Structure 1
Amino acid sequence: MFTGIIQATGEIVSAQKKDGDLRLHVQSQSMDWSDVALGDSIATNGVCLTAVELPGNGFVADVSVETLDLTCAQYWKAGTRVNLEKALTPESRLGGHIVSGHVDGVGEVISRAPDARSERFQIRAPKELAKYIAHKGSITVDGTSLTVNKVSGAVFDLNIVPHTLQETIMATYSEGTKVNLEVDVIARYLERLLLGEKAAEPGEQTLSMAFLAEHGFVK
C-alpha cells in the first residue's frame, strides 16, 4: 500500500523486452535506498513493482503483460521520468489517501493552463472509470494523490500547486500526455458491496440504474 505522496522522481535506465514481458531498471539519485530490500514494493508512476535486483541508486523489476496492457508502462523507455514512492509502513504518515498501486486505466491530459501560481489540468479518463470520480474526491495520477476539483462526464479538473509541480513529473505534462489513473479504492469496494448476492454470480457484474431501482436504492 502507498499514500500517493511522491518521495522522489527517477528515470528509466533501461526497458528490455524479456520473454514477452519487460525487465525494467529504474534509478534515482534523490531517493534514499538504504532501507530498500529485495522483494520490496515501489510505486513507479503509480504502478506497484517488486524489486528483484538492487544495483545501487535504483532497482530492477519485472513488468508483466497484464501490467503492460493496462498502464503507461507500455510506453516507458530509457530516459522516461517517473514518480517514485516506497511502500507504506505502520510508522508512515498517511498524508495523501490509501493507494494500492493497482492502476485502473490510462487517462490523457487534454489541457493545461495557468491558474494564479498553480496550474489547471484537465484529464480525460476511460469511460468505465467515470462513475468512480467525484468532485472533491481523491484520485491517483501517475502515483500522485490529488483532489478532483471538477467533473464533467469522464473529464476531470486538477489544480496543481507549485510544490507538487516541483516534486513530481507533472511539470512535464502537456496536451496528449498519457497518465496512469487509480480511482479511490473505497469506491471500488462500495460498488462490489452494493451488488450483494449478485456479486457471486458468474461473469462480470456491474451496477446499473435498473439494478439500483430494483433493490430500492433509487426511485
Structure 2
Amino acid sequence: MFTGLIEDVGKITSIIARGDVTVVEIGDTFIASELKRGSSVAVSGACLTVVEVVSSNRFKVEIMEETRNRTTLSKARIGLRVNLERALPVQGRFDGHIVTGHVDTLGEVVDIVDKGRTRQIFIKVPSEWVKYIVEKGSVAVDGVSLTVISVEGDTFSVGLIPTTLADTTIGSVRKGDRVNIECDILAKYIARLISSDNKSPPSDEGSYGLSLERLRELGW
C-alpha cells in the first residue's frame, strides 16, 4: 500500500524487452539504497516489484503486458522522469490517502490554469470511471495524492501547490498529455457493494448485501 506522497523523482536509464516482459532501470534516485530485491515501489502510480538493486542510486523493475496496457509506462523512454514512492511500512505514519498502485485508467490533460504560485489542471477520463471521483475526494494522478476540486461530465480538476509542482513530475505536464489515474479504493468497493449485480452471500437477516433501498432504510 502507498499514500500518494512522492518521495523522489527518478529517471529511466535503460529499457530492455525480454519477450512479454520489459526490464526498466531507474536511476538518479536516493531510494534505491533503501530497496531490496522483491520490494514494492510505485513508479508514477504503478506498483512494481524490484528485481535488482544495481547501485545506491539505481534499481530495476519488470513490467508485464497488463501494466503496459493500463499505464503510461507503455510509452516509457530513456530519460523519462518518474515519480517514486516506496511501500508504506506497517508502523509508518499515514499522511496521504489509500493508494494501491493499481492504475485504473488513463486520463488526458485537457486544460491547465495558472493561479499565481498554484495551478489547476483538468483531466478527462473514460466515462465509466467518473462515478468514483467526487468533489473534495481523493484521486492519485501519476501516483500523486491529490484532492478533487470539481467534477463536470467526464472531466475533473485538481489543484497543485508549489511543493507538488516542484517535487513531482506533475509540474511538467502539458495539455494533451496522458496520466495514470487511480480512483479511491473505498469508492470502488462501495459502488461494487450497491451494484445491481452484487453476488454477496445472504446474511443472517436474509439480505443479499447492500442496495440503495437498504441504505435508505438504514438512514443513509
For the criterion TM > 0.5, the same-fold answer is yes
Equivalent position of 1:48 in the other structure = 47
Equivalent position of 1:208 in the other structure = none
Is the Cα–Cα contact under 8 Å of residues 112 and 119 in structure 1 kept in the other structure? yes
Counterpart of 1:130, as a letter, is V
Counterpart of 1:4, as a letter, is G
Is the Cα–Cα contact under 8 Å of residues 192 and 199 in structure 1 kept in the other structure? no
Q: What are the equivalent positions in structure 2 for 1:104-143 lying under 5 Å apart?
A: 104-143=104-143
Distance 1:28 1:87 in 2: 19
Distance 2:95 2:163 in 1: 14
Q: CA deviation at 1:125?
A: 1.2
> What RMSD, in angstroms, separates the aligned Cα atoms of the two structures?
2.0
- Structure 1 runs of 4+ with >4 Å offset: 215-218
Report the TM-score, using the length of structure 2 for normalisation.
0.88
In structure 2, list runs of 5 or more residues that go unmatched: 202-210
Q: Percent identity?
A: 37
Q: Deviations over 1:92-140 (max 9, x none)?
A: 2211101000000000111112113101111111211111000000000
Counterpart of 2:125, as a letter, is A
Q: CA deviation at 1:91?
A: 2.6
Q: CA deviation at 1:20?
A: 2.4
Is the Cα–Cα contact under 8 Å of residues 6 and 85 in structure 1 kept in the other structure? yes
Counterpart of 1:47, as a letter, is A
In structure 1, list runs of 5 or more residues that go unmatched: 202-211
Q: Deviations over 1:47-78 (max 9, x none)?
A: 00000010011211110101111111101111
Equivalent position of 1:8 in the other structure = 8
Report the TM-score, using the length of structure 1 for normalisation.
0.88
Q: What are the equivalent positions in structure 2 for 1:1-219 lying under 5 Å apart?
A: 1-29=1-29, 31-56=30-55, 57-195=57-195, 198-199=198-199, 215=213
Which segment is superposed worse, 141-150 or 153-162?
A: 153-162
Q: CA deviation at 1:197?
A: 7.1
Is the Cα–Cα contact under 8 Å of residues 142 and 179 in structure 1 kept in the other structure? yes
